[in-house]
Structure 1
Amino acid sequence: MSTQPGAPTSSWMRELVRGRKAPVPWDLAILTAIAVAVPVGVSLLFMSDDPAILGLGVLTSMGALVASIADRGGPAVDRARRIAVTAAFAAVGLLAGSLAFGNDVATVLIVVAASLVSGVAGVVSANASSAALQFLVYAIVGSGIDFGLRPLWLAPLVVLAGAAWRLALTGVAILLDRHPRAPERAAVAAVYTAVAAQLDAAGTPAVDAARRDVTTALNQAYDLMVSARTSLAGRDPRWRTLVTLLNAATPIVEATTAVVAEGQHVPSRVPNALRAIARSIEDPAAPAPAMPPPDRSTPGRAALASSLRLVGSLLAGDDPVTMTVPIQRPDAVGLPHVTAGDRLRSLRDHLSSGGETWFAVLRLVLCVAVAEAVSVLLPLERPYWITLTVAVVMKPDFGSVFARAVQRGLGTVVGVLIGAVVVVVLPLGWPQVIALAVLAGGMPVAIRRNYGLFSTFITPVIVILLELAHGEDPGLIVSRVTDTLIGSAIVLVVGYLPWPSTWRSARQLGSRVADVVDDVASYLTVALAPVPPDPGDGALRASSRDRSAARRATYRRLSDLRTLVQQTLAEPPPISTAAAAWWPQIVAMERVTDAITSTAIRGFHAHLSADERSVEDLRSALAAIAEAIRANRAPDPVELPDDDLLSSVSDEIGAARALLST
């Protein structure tokens, strides 16, 4: 399939160094700088001549570093949970590694076993995966460094103390926040702001990107509210109100899709009202937003007016059940509550049903085993850094292995040079501590933009900490670069190039595209299902909930697929070339989904039902597209229905079929 217009134009090498746009998390930057620099700074201030005390300060800073990596912001309870779990895993890993220190056979066995645990944990959840990575990292650190503390459990205890110090700082920052539930408020407000931007972009080339921003904002808001969901939050009226407002955004998003499809600009007072709603959500003390006068000149505008009226009533404290636009109430919000049993069942299903999971874990374990063998066989000064590089780069659920290997190598080389300048040029003591604080504060900023940039910041932090603990050793700087390059080479040669799955990724990507086409077909069936004559309010609410849930699920899968393709673009040809060729088909499916949504809104407000036979013909056409993608051929000829209500859906499906025929 040839690359069509609309595919990304940047080269795979440019994708490797391209940074993502992201706001600067000043709170996390300041917390990380203070948490990492203060413990070692205090030990230097009071006992700079005592290596044991200095070592305690360094270990405490390392514990704070673990907690800082785990803290990605968000709801308070989720932040505390991530920090606590990650620190506990790191401490256990450090203890396990320390037990093997000095024994090559025991080191290999423990580190390889830790890599197996780390790889399997990636299936459970993102938080478990991050915690298990720190378990592996600190098992490697413990097996390669003797911190001189006895008994052996003392070093892990100090790491936990450092994490507790960082957690305490986080708690203070949360208590000082003037707006309770600020992350949740910001996430819900961002949805309304994104919808306003989509209305502003209507009729311009920027409208597709604006619609994707709405999807991203919705995904992030729902993920955040799910992570904040606890029994305590469920009884918090502020949380319940935010969930209600988030659910109320769904009919606004659907109505906006219909308005954009109608091809006419709405008056500026409408997007301005949405921004006022966002300000009111983010800051409860802000003035109540004034709703624009209702405009019911088109079905899309009528739906938007009703949806805005609903949100205005919610902000005024009225009961949403009396509104004409049905939404999910806070006691039935549809937010999944994932239990430990659910996670264990998911883990069992992944491990028992798919070779793909085991192949990913096997690649990680094999690379770690090779790295350990190289560490034992080669006369290297501190060879554990090789295995550290492999562990961080090869984590199978963290994105493109090739991109991470190259970014890690480049970032570490630059980071080591920065660390060398700090160690050699700045005198031991407070100048180095200040440099440590600046570099640590840059980590939360860098990780949101590019993994190589993150490596550029975290590497000198580790170099400075280890230099403070072990004294000046110019050879250490050179060995860090050498070990990193060896580790990256192991990843590429052992964990990337020889595996058939690497070169089959384009075909696997096609299968993912076909699955998403099937999802769009399922959404079409739900959204355009016939409405029974004279339905009651309950039936209308149920129908609206089903349509909204299906639409949200479909857009999320499209968004996930787009992210996967974006990651694959950083691979070398022919993989990146094949990935770019699927981009127009993803865009086409997004447009089909938009057309389905706008058609459903138009039919609802015009009291029209789509012809069941025509809907089935459209579903069959989408199924034919999915089948053609899986078979790597042009789709079979089909006749699309000639129906006024379904014309936009037919047109977009026809355009999607045409892409596969070229």
Structure 2
Amino acid sequence: MRSRTPVTSDDSRAHPAAWIREMVRLKPATMPVGHMIRSGIVVGGPFVVGVLIDDVLTGMWIALAGLLLAAGERAGTYRLNFAIVLISTPIAATGYVLGFLQHIPWAAMILVMVALALGCGLIAGLGPAFSVAGMQFLVIASIAIGASSISNWWIPLALYFVGGIIYAALLAVEMVIAPRRPQRLALQEMLHNLAGLAHARSADLRDGGDRCGAAMGACQSARRTAVTRIAELTVPGTDSLRTWHLTSAVIFDAERVEALLIGERSVSAVDAVARQLDALTTVVSAEKEATSTTATESATSIRGGPSPRPSPLEQSMTELAEAVRHGHDGRMVRHPVTVPAIGGEVVAAAGRLALCFGIAVAAKLYFPSTHWFWVPLTVCLVMKPDFGSVFSRAILRVLGTIAGAAVASIIIVVVPKGLGIGIAIGLLAAAVPYLMLRSYALQAVAITPVVILLIDLISPGTESVNDAWQRIAATVLGGAIVLVFGYLIWPHSRQAWVAATFATATERIAAFLTTAATPIPEDGRTAAERHTALVSARRTAYRTLSDLDIRMQRALSEPPPAETVARAWIPAIAATSRLADAVSAYADDRVNADAPPNPAGAGVVAAVILQLGRGDSPDPVEVTDDRLSAVAAGVNTLRATLHHDGDRDGEESR
């Protein structure tokens, strides 16, 4: 079946460089101070100590472990990052064993490395710790098979464990100093974005605008992050000092407030909730006790006057404030470190990684440089299957390497070899955690001079040797291998695949609508089961919309046809998001008993939604139920967007 790609009123062909601008766009980020300090110490410290005690090689091996662990640390919980250190360190260190195979026939070496790269790609599906471990193993293996001056590889293997122990110790220090920092930041971001949604909803109610779409996306992302922060490691003696709590109840109440805000029609009620959320955000960020006046407004202020009973929005907001302040329902939901998710997409990505890595290892036969191993090293850094667009990473890594090589050249010319180089390495390593949040290219800008200076520091003699041009040439070659053999020859990888995700999103929205339209049972237990199903349907629908947006944003940073298709989908995705909000508002009306059950009418509308998801051209939907009219209007708007002028240009195969 072929699915029509919607045509935008702003023809993407008029913006040939739009995908380039999207690819090089810097992401907003807050400086991870603890991560930066840790990275600078664990990488620069061993170099400096090695220079001072005249044992630079030992310091280099320890610092290399620190650099890889710093680059592999995730913006998650201490629990996750300790798991990454615990799992990745032994796996990565094992890569040094490959150094003992340097003298086997090179055809056999290529086959061995292809098999290992395939395995590393497959274990990425087991979770972030194994994904980081696989990448680090290939980096170490590339160095081990390429550095012929080392005879005893057991020494760097053992020193890698020393670097891992030092890194874990520094991470433990931060956890003792700020044990709840990951939770606080996640809760603060979730409340801040929820307040942003309330302000956007208030503005829309006043002038009829459409600001809630972006705010909803931010709320979804922040809540997903908060879910991963619930089960943090605890430090004895800190619980008694809590002035706020992040629990499953807090996240559930936040999601409930989000849903009710979309359906709320009272500006005063929305404004009151916005003020409460602003106050709660301040409480969490300031780490101080919330008072009754700052954390929870009176029921009268939300309702706008006396009322016999609180509204659902008021009740949910009160429950959220109380859960944040007192930690009601503190169930710990421990997400496993490993998840068996090796599906078809992971297998395909692992296969492409193995092919490209084998070609890169063969570079020893044709690349005229003693540092040929930078070619496979580049391939494994670019092609890890969970890091986003392969095309974008290849281009950005080449650009970042060129800039980083220039930085290294300046440092080598200006800074004398020895202690000064070690300090420069520490400063550059400290910048890596922040730059990797801003852009993959900026990450390469910082890491490249660290690697070049590393080679310079262990080179014999008192004068610095500039290997920048070799690094650039190897990176360009590695990037070219990735682009050709990991991207261009695979039509599957060059498609945006937005239409497939769009079809799934429409299915979820249709299911959400049909669940909302069912009668509310009189029996309390049955009613609770229906409510649970409704909440699950809403969560699934918005989660799929979030996946749709992520896939579109990733495709926007790639060249046509992926970028062209993704840009054409922008209006349709926006219309789909508004349709989901209309369904959410209808569901709130049903919960509040403001709308009667109407399974038949909702079924008609849901059927049209499903047809649109399949790429069909249904007639405009008409309903007699006033409460369903907003949903029907959203469906008709989506239909008009998908079939604008009947144009079939830019079709994408599913």
Q: TM-score, normalised by structure 2?
A: 0.88
Tell which deviates more after alignment, 81-90 or 199-208: 199-208
In structure 2, relative to structure 1, the CA distance for the partners of 1:452 and 1:263 (3 Å cut) is: farther
Q: Shift of the alpha carbon at 1:526?
A: 2.5
Give distance in 2, aligned partners of 1:434 and 1:584.
Answer: 51
In structure 2, relative to structure 1, the CA distance for the partners of 1:36 and 1:404 (3 Å cut) is: same
Contact residue 82 and residue 127 of structure 1 kept, 8 A = yes
Deviations 1:206-252 (A, max 9, x none): 432222111111111113336x389999x999798633222221211
Q: Which residue of 1 aligns with 2:629?
A: 647
Q: Which residue of 1 aligns with 2:317?
A: 308
Contact residue 4 and residue 581 of structure 1 kept, 8 A = yes
Q: Which residue of 2 aligns with 1:418?
A: 407
Q: Which residue of 1 aligns with 2:647?
A: none
Q: Which residue of 2 aligns with 1:174?
A: 175
Contact residue 66 and residue 163 of structure 1 kept, 8 A = no
In structure 2, relative to structure 1, the CA distance for the partners of 1:67 and 1:315 (3 Å cut) is: closer
Q: Shift of the alpha carbon at 1:54?
A: 0.9
1:658 maps to 2:652: no
Give distance in 1, aligned partners of 2:234 and 2:365.
Answer: 48
Q: Shift of the alpha carbon at 1:105?
A: 4.0
Q: Which residue of 1 aligns with 2:51?
A: 44
Q: Secondary structure at the match of 2:619?
A: coil
User: Comparing both chains, which one has the higher relative contact order based on Cα–Cα distances under 8 Å and sequence gaps of 6 or more?
Assistant: 2
Q: Which residue of 1 aligns with 2:617?
A: 635
Tell which deviates more after alignment, 460-469 or 521-530: 521-530
1:528 maps to 2:517: yes
Q: Secondary structure at the match of 2:126?
A: coil
Amino acid of the structure 2 residue aligned with 1:35: V
Q: Shift of the alpha carbon at 1:375?
A: 2.1
Give distance in 2, aligned partners of 1:337 and 1:442.
Answer: 30
In structure 2, relative to structure 1, the CA distance for the partners of 1:108 and 1:511 (3 Å cut) is: same
In structure 2, relative to structure 1, the CA distance for the partners of 1:496 and 1:558 (3 Å cut) is: same
Give distance in 2, aligned partners of 1:339 and 1:473.
Answer: 44
Tell which deviates more after alignment, 122-131 or 137-146: 122-131
Give distance in 2, aligned partners of 1:161 and 1:336.
Answer: 29
Deviations 1:173-212 (A, max 9, x none): 11122xx322113212321221111111221554322221
Deviations 1:387-416 (A, max 9, x none): 111111122332111111110111111111
Contact residue 6 and residue 583 of structure 1 kept, 8 A = no
Q: Secondary structure at the match of 2:627?
A: coil
Q: Shift of the alpha carbon at 1:41?
A: 0.4
Deviations 1:533-560 (A, max 9, x none): x342x44443333222222222122112
1:286 maps to 2:275: no
In structure 2, relative to structure 1, the CA distance for the partners of 1:236 and 1:617 (3 Å cut) is: farther
In structure 2, relative to structure 1, the CA distance for the partners of 1:25 and 1:373 (3 Å cut) is: same
Give distance in 2, aligned partners of 1:529 and 1:605.
Answer: 14
Q: TM-score, normalised by structure 1?
A: 0.87
Deviations 1:249-276 (A, max 9, x none): 12111111112xx373647443221122
Contact residue 121 and residue 132 of structure 1 kept, 8 A = yes
Tell which deviates more after alignment, 366-375 or 447-456: 366-375
Q: Shift of the alpha carbon at 1:146?
A: 4.4
Q: Secondary structure at the match of 2:454?
A: helix
Percent identity over the alignment is 27
In structure 2, relative to structure 1, the CA distance for the partners of 1:143 and 1:230 (3 Å cut) is: farther
Q: Shift of the alpha carbon at 1:458?
A: 0.8
Amino acid of the structure 2 residue aligned with 1:144: G
Give distance in 1, aligned partners of 2:564 and 2:173.
Answer: 49
Give distance in 1, aligned partners of 2:81 and 2:228.
Answer: 14
- Residue 392 of structure 1, aligned match among 359, 374, 381: 381
Give distance in 2, aligned partners of 1:466 and 1:145.
Answer: 11
Q: Shift of the alpha carbon at 1:571?
A: 1.1
Q: Which residue of 1 aligns with 2:227?
A: 222
Written as runs of structure 1 = structure 2, the 5 A alignment for 1:199-210 is 199-202=198-201, 203=204, 204-210=209-215
Q: Secondary structure at the match of 1:572?
A: coil
Written as runs of structure 1 = structure 2, the 5 A alignment for 1:351-390 is 354=344, 356-390=345-379
- Where structure 2 has 5 or more consecutive residues not aligned to the other structure, the ranges are 645-654
Give distance in 1, aligned partners of 2:582 and 2:181.
Answer: 35
Q: Which residue of 2 aligns with 1:50?
A: none
The count of corresponding residues between Structure 1 and Structure 2 is 620
Contact residue 578 and residue 634 of structure 2 kept, 8 A = yes
Q: Which residue of 2 aligns with 1:323?
A: none
Written as runs of structure 1 = structure 2, the 5 A alignment for 1:149-548 is 150=152, 152-177=153-178, 180-202=179-201, 203=204, 204-225=209-230, 228=232, 242-259=247-264, 262=265, 264=267, 266=269, 268-281=271-284, 285-288=288-291, 289-294=294-299, 295-296=302-303, 302-315=311-324, 317=326, 329-331=329-331, 335=333, 337-338=335-336, 343-344=339-340, 346-347=341-342, 350=343, 354=344, 356-471=345-460, 474=465, 476-503=467-494, 505-506=495-496, 508-532=497-521, 534-536=522-524, 538-548=525-535
Tell which deviates more after alignment, 183-192 or 651-660: 183-192
- Where structure 1 has 5 or more consecutive residues not aligned to the other structure, the ranges are 48-52, 321-328, 629-633
Tell which deviates more after alignment, 482-491 or 395-404: 395-404
Amino acid of the structure 2 residue aligned with 1:618: V
In structure 2, relative to structure 1, the CA distance for the partners of 1:115 and 1:301 (3 Å cut) is: farther
In structure 2, relative to structure 1, the CA distance for the partners of 1:375 and 1:265 (3 Å cut) is: farther
Q: Shift of the alpha carbon at 1:647?
A: 1.5
Q: Shift of the alpha carbon at 1:376?
A: 2.0
